[in-house]
Amino acid sequence: MPVTRSSSDYAVRTTALRKAFRANKQQIEALKGVDLEVTRGQIFGFLGPNGAGKTTALRILTTLLPADAGEAFVAGADVRRRPQDVRRRIGYVGQIGGADLSATGRENLSLQGRLYGMTSAETARRVNELAESLDLKAFSDRIVRTYSGGQRRRLEVALGIMHRPEVLFLDEPTTGLDPQNRNNLWDQLRLLRETGTTICLTTHYLEEADQLSDRLAIIDHGRIIAEGTPHELKQRFAASTIRLVPKPGAVSLEQLGREFAHETFVSGLQVKDGSVQLRVTDTTEALAAIFGRLRNLGIELRTVSLTEPSLDDVFLQETGRSLRDSGEPVAKEAA
């Protein structure tokens, strides 16, 4: 018999979540019935272009914005009926951040601890612990205004987990960071996951969603268009490309293309850039069939290369456009 799970079994669970805004005398739907289940102890990514609904979803889940319809549970608590319980159980780091720029990092963390009811001794221990684990020690007694972008972002993550939340929400956590600081923050988030913290983050960076997320939902126009592990999504929705370049004089590109044009494992074929490019859904089957056919025909290749699908390929297949080029806002999300 299938196992029936309750909302308390998930870090986040939503059903038919909806939200609309008024803009220029028109109603624009930012979320159009979002169903979501996030298992505890994983990094879950929300990937999509600007205006797709990612930040709206996060603000509803963190009680900062009311939903128009649907249900949402976070850390076992109903977001609408028990918002105070949700706030005690979560951490939130927005795009702008909430650190007091005129105070030191240590002062910011100490205040956060006291606001959550921690004793002075507990607060001091936790500040030292976070300074060590998030590599803040070298600058924790400096005024935050003097911090670099990466230093400030690490402090903001520390503020979000000062009270040991069950779920940490991060909205575009690495926007504006250079590659080194971005990778350092990724490492810190992975360490948090290992301690049992569930992390939900929004991003429009393909590499971030691919490298960091255990599971992710691709959001566009207020709907989840695909969900799964990055590997599952790429294998389920997108095709690999096998590029064949024959040896000079071995065979014409047009003839080589005709040999594979009607194979069941080929979902698309192009002859360009001095090669035949085959889009295939099952790489193992395709390569075995291709090499077998070429061997029987006596055709030798100069090069053969394989390009695995990307999350952008998934987005392109599902929406008809590239996520890399989707910069237009679909709906104005709440400020």
Same fold, 7-234 and 239-308: no
Give Cα separations from 194 to 13, 167, 170, 188, 208 (angstroms).
21, 13, 17, 10, 18
Position 75 pLDDT exceeds 90: yes
pLDDT of residue 325: 67
∠ CA 276-260-316, rounded to 5°: 60
Position 144 pLDDT exceeds 50: yes
In whole numbers, what is the pLDDT of the chain averaged over residues?
90
What pLDDT, in 10s, does the model give residues 220-261? 999 999 999 999 998 888 888 999 999 998 899 999 999 999
pLDDT of residue 333: 38
> Which of 39-53, 203-217, 321-335 shows the lowest mean pLDDT across its residues?
321-335
Fold of 239-308: Alpha-Beta Plaits (3.30.70)
What pLDDT, in 10s, does the model give residues 24-71? 888 889 999 999 999 999 999 999 998 899 999 999 999 999 999 999
List beta partners, residue 276.
Answer: 244, 271
Domain boundaries, the chain: 7-234, 239-308
What pLDDT, in 10s, does the model give residues 179-207? 888 888 899 899 999 989 999 999 989 99
Position 312 pLDDT exceeds 70: yes
Domain 7-234: CATH superfamily is P-loop containing nucleotide triphosphate hydrolases (3.40.50.300)
- Place 2 in a pLDDT band, splitting at 50, 70 and 90: very low
Residue 171 DSSP SS3: strand
Check residue 276 and report its DSSP letter: E
pLDDT of residue 332: 34
- Of 103, 214, 213, 93, residue with least CA distance to 162: 93
Query: At how many degrees (to 10) do helices 179-194 and 149-161 cross?
Result: 20
How many angstroms separate the CA atoms of 227 and 315, rounded? 11
Spatial contact of 53 and 222, defined as CB atoms under 8 Å apart: yes
Quickly tell me which residue has 């290992």 as its tokens: 194
